[in-house]
């Protein structure tokens, strides 16, 4: 294996920091491990008319789906970091072959090679 693990580890740790920062802005950890995040509720805001109620609910829905996306990405990044610890990083989880470097450059948390997307 000729890939630069340290390079990808740095990329993954940067991505993890960014994801956790983004999650921190729209949600809060609902468990100490930080695996599950809740949307910050709008209950402290007093809606003054119907439009405000509607937009408040809409914001809540958007946060929920954004959190879901970020949570999934964070999960993938954590999984990749675990593989670095185990020494299996860069190995396709389907075929056990090496994942193409350019694929890892595009997506450092890729689990599989180009043949097993």
CB of 105 to Zn ion, least distance (A): 17
Judged by beta carbon, residue 47 or residue 87, the one nearer Zn ion is 87
Residue from 99, 59, 68, 79 nearest 15 by CA: 79
Contact (Cβ atoms closer than 8 angstroms) between residue 83 and residue 93: no
Contact (Cβ atoms closer than 8 angstroms) between residue 90 and residue 1: yes
CB of 98 to Zn ion, least distance (A): 9
Judged by beta carbon, residue 74 or residue 113, the one nearer Zn ion is 113
Judged by beta carbon, residue 30 or residue 95, the one nearer Zn ion is 95
Task: Give the interface with Zn ion as residue ranges (CB under 5 A).
Answer: 92, 94-95, 113, 115-116
Residue from 10, 14, 11, 39 nearest 24 by CA: 39
CB of 100 to Zn ion, least distance (A): 10
């Amino acid at each position: 294996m000729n890939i630069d693990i340290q390079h990808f580890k740095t990329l993954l740790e940067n991505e993890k920091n960014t994801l956790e920062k983004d999650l921190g802005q729209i949600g809060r950890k609902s468990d100490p491990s930080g695996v599950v995040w809740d949307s910050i509720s709008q209950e402290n805001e007093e809606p003054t008319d119907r439009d405000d109620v509607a937009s408040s609910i809409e914001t809540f829905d958007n946060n929920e789906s954004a959190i879901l996306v970020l949570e999934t990405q964070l999960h993938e990044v954590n999984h990749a970091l675990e593989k670095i610890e185990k020494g299996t990083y860069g190995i396709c989880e389907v075929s056990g072959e090496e994942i193409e470097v350019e694929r890892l450059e595009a997506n450092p948390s890729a689990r599989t090679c180009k043949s097993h997307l």
